[in-house]
Amino acid sequence: MAKEFTDGEPEKMREAAGRLTAPSYGDDLVRHPTHACEGGMPDCTGLFGCDVDSTKKVQELITYVRQGFAGFQAMITDCADLYANGAGMSQDELNSIVNRPPADGLPDREPRFDAPTGAKP
């Protein structure tokens, strides 16, 4: 016989969501403007350009991972709410939650990665 109900424990789901945190990172990923190439070292501009480009890619990756953690945490909390309130919910209410469009407009890099204006290393 098929199981015709879903058995979830909302409080345990909320506890799990509360323990789910994105990895933290230090300020060493914030790049401040530099004037290191003013001395005329050969290939300095290219070297520092590679550093800046690779740092931006790492910043984007960290941003996406942190957004993913936040999204997964919200999904767990939403599911816990659905389990807790599902019996009193109409089909239309449930469908509006399940079929809501994804969030858009998330940044590619967290604003924290931007060096303060006028800052010097």
Based on the number of CB atoms within 10 Å of its own CB, is 14 exposed (0-12), middle (13-18) or buried (19 or more)? middle
Q: Given CA atoms 45, 46, 47, 53 in this order, what sign does their dihedral have?
A: positive
**pLDDT (0 to 100) of residue 49:** 84
Q: Between these two residues, 8 and 16, which has the higher pLDDT value? A: 16
Compute the average pLDDT of residues 64-90: 84
Place of tokens 């058995």: 7
Domain ranges in the chain are 11-16+43-113
Instruction: Look up residue 101 and give its DSSP letter.
Output: P
Q: Considering just the CA atoms, what is the radius of gyration of the chain in Å?
A: 23
Compute the average pLDDT of residues 66-92: 83
Residue 56 has pLDDT above 60, yes or no: yes
Based on the number of CB atoms within 10 Å of its own CB, is 56 exposed (0-12), middle (13-18) or buried (19 or more)? middle
Go through the chain and tell me how many residues it has: 121
| Contact of 66 with 110, CB cutoff 8 Å | yes
Q: What is the pLDDT of residues 96-121, one digit of tens each?
A: 777 877 777 778 888 877 766 554 44
